[in-house]
A and B are shown apart, each in its own frame.
Chain A
Amino acid sequence: MQTGRRRDGWTVRGAHLAALLLTVYPSTRLFAQDTSAVDRGVRIGIIYRPGVRPGLVVLPGAAAALDSVRAIVARDLDLSDRFELITLPGGDSIRMSAAPPSAGTSRAPTGGRGGAAAGLNYQLYQALGADFAVGLALAGDTTVLAVHDVAAGSVRREFRSRLPPLKDPGFRMAVHRLADHILEATLGVGGIAATRILFVLDGKAYVIDEDGADKQLVSSSDHQAMSPAWAPDGRRFSYMEFWAGHGQLFVQPVGPGKRQPVATTGQALDFTPAFSPDGKTLAFSRATEEGTDIYAVNIKDNCCLQRLTVGRFSDNLSPTYSPEGQRIAFVSTRPGLPQIYVMAADGTDQQLFAPFDYGVTGSSNAPDWSPDGQSVAFHRDVGGTLQVFVLDVRTRAVRQLTSLGRNEDPTWAPDSRHLAFVSDRSGYRQLWIIDLETGRIRPLLQQSGARLPAWSPRLPETASSTP
């Protein structure tokens, strides 16, 4: 709904020209923006204000070879939910009336100013509501990305990279990385374009790019897979393999490579693995005849099993580490129904985390601690169906995020403002992504039955270049 409204807005702007655009311009302007001279490394005065999104225009270019790059970058910037993307009415006609931007970007020295001198009509783009303009050009086999600060009338940052060929499996991830460079250069924040999401479909683990492209099977056996979880290095993941009522945990590279069974697992029902932020420990749930409890095993040396909870008459499961690794949020049935609890990473100091009304609030499950440490997302039974909630770690306030259909198993993006989750709002269960700032919701995968998503950290360069 939100998307539609905004798109309509831009259609209106596209239909009327500069006169109307000039009047609209102030409302979309970024108030606190970097007006200082270009200063790489230190960014002063950039404060993102929710609800006020800077305008950004992806400049058309002469090099047709970059058309797919431009399309992917523009889509990534849109999916970041941080910009009002400005589509140029008439496309090339604007460029014609202005000086060709390709000349400007190709001649611009690294990080230099002089965009205006190079011929980009900053006044025009400013009139269209753009705070930033992004140009893509080719210099030999090098792709040159120029990020213009429209108000300052200069090139803020320039990136040169040699992109893999279009057919290369690493092509899309390399382009996603360009989009993240743009967020870094304009807003000083990390992006999520170069991230992927693990999920389970028909008992197999898959990985998909955050923009919904490039779905790949990562399961390496025929046994049922459940609960995939990323290692903090973004190169490996853990998951549970389920057969004959037993659950064994494995750690497997996302790229090529052999999986390793996790020590001590597989005799009982071991499930919901979660890496500690230093990647040395794997916490998980183990169901035995005593009930379900949380254990931790040293994944580096594949040893040293440690029991963190002793439930006896209650179950404890689904651990998730805080980003500094000191605490673990988890599910406990000690109040009768499952609710969200928290403890120190060594199992001490266990206490209720997400408040609830006894006898009123439904079951709460599947917690995921946000990468910025400020929130824990989980799902809760509301009137017989599940909804996604977010707990504010500092105030312990809980707010409901979804209400349409059944929504479950939220997982945080590395920017701590997007969540992927499972929803049947379209009639069948599939993966969706919500932006907590704008409320925009989009489907990630139009495929029935996808579940148990896990969003990757920002991926290292090498992870993408290996198929």
Chain B
Amino acid sequence: MKRLSLIVLSGIAVVALAACSHNPPPVTTPQQPNADSVAAAERARQDSIDRAAAEARAREEAERQRQQRIADSLAAMGKTGEAVRTMLATLIHFDYDKANIRPEDASILDQKVAILQANPNLRIRISGHCDERGSDEYNLALGNRRATAAKQYLVSHGIEAQRIETVSYGEERPLAQGHDEAAWAQNRRDEFEIIGGGDALKQP
């Protein structure tokens, strides 16, 4: 079969060659130059130059726009990083002498879960804080509970435990200096701090 087809193909090729050799070479008849045609040629030449220049301009413009797009997207990325950072640093608060996560704070922690999932190299430290009303020394234990409560929430939502450190400051680092419920409520808090993988944060 294979051999047969080869023979057939080569036969066709021979026929084709014979046909070519039969045709006379095409003769180009020189045209008579006239003023119109010269002007037309000149116009054509000029057009092509203009076209080339326009094309170059367009290319430049395209390149400029491309650069701009890159710059814009970089800025956008930076802005995203800032937004993510802010979201990550959002405090959560606690009731007096309590270390359980309040329902209204769960959504804040959910955001952090998403951020940690979108940025697998990100590592954070959670610090627990208390108001001045409790006992100085007991507050170290309570702040510890508050930090680990947030960590447990994040871990239970799929974040690797080794990406999160916890510390307690007790009542030693108040955010608000007042001695009323408003200040105390602000001071009963968890703070979230980036300790690694915080460059070029991605939006979840």
| Residues of chain A at the chain B interface (Cβ within 8 Å) | 224, 226-227, 242, 244-247, 269, 271-272, 285, 287-289, 291-292, 315, 317-318, 331, 333, 337-338, 363, 365-366, 379, 384, 386, 408-409, 451-452
Chain B residue with Cβ nearest A200: B136
**Contact, CB under 8 Å: A289 / B148:** yes
**Contact, CB under 8 Å: B169 / A245:** yes
Shortest C-beta distance, A212 to chain B (Å), equals: 22
Q: Is chain A's binding surface mostly helix, strand, loop or mixed?
A: strand
**Contact, CB under 8 Å: A269 / B168:** yes
**Contact, CB under 8 Å: A315 / B145:** yes
**Chain B contacts for A246, CB-based, 8 A:** 167
15 of the cross-chain contacts (CB-CB < 8 Å) are: A242-B172, A245-B167, A269-B140, A272-B137, A287-B141, A289-B151, A291-B141, A291-B144, A317-B141, A318-B138, A337-B97, A363-B134, A379-B135, A384-B133, A409-B136
**Contact, CB under 8 Å: B135 / A386:** yes
CA distance A288 to B140 in the complex (A): 11
Contacts known (A317-B137, A366-B137, A409-B136); A245 close to B145, Cβ less than 8 A: no
**Chain B contacts for A244, CB-based, 8 A:** 167
CA distance A337 to B141 in the complex (A): 12
**Chain B contacts for A363, CB-based, 8 A:** 97, 134-135, 138
Shortest C-beta distance, B154 to chain A (Å), equals: 12
**Contact, CB under 8 Å: B167 / A291:** no
Q: Is chain B's binding surface mostly helix, strand, loop or mixed?
A: mixed
Shortest C-beta distance, A16 to chain B (Å), equals: 49
Which 7 pairs between the two chains have the least Cβ-Cβ distance? A245-B167, A365-B135, A287-B144, A292-B141, A315-B141, A365-B138, A289-B148
**Chain B contacts for A452, CB-based, 8 A:** 136-137
CA distance A246 to B143 in the complex (A): 12
| Residues of chain B at the chain A interface (Cβ within 8 Å) | 97, 127, 133-138, 140-142, 144-145, 148, 151, 166-169, 172
**Chain A contacts for B144, CB-based, 8 A:** 269, 287-288, 291-292, 315
Quick one: which of A247, A338, A379, A384 contacts B140, CB cutoff 8 A? A247
Chain A residue with Cβ nearest B97: A363
Chain A residue with Cβ nearest B173: A245
**Chain A contacts for B137, CB-based, 8 A:** 226-227, 271-272, 285, 317-318, 365-366, 452
Shortest C-beta distance, B123 to chain A (Å), equals: 15
**Chain B contacts for A247, CB-based, 8 A:** 140
Chain A residue with Cβ nearest B140: A271
Shortest C-beta distance, A178 to chain B (Å), equals: 36
**Chain A contacts for B141, CB-based, 8 A:** 285, 287, 291-292, 315, 317, 333
**Chain B contacts for A224, CB-based, 8 A:** 172
**Chain A contacts for B140, CB-based, 8 A:** 247, 269, 271, 285, 287, 292, 317
CA distance A112 to B201 in the complex (A): 89
Shortest C-beta distance, A34 to chain B (Å), equals: 44
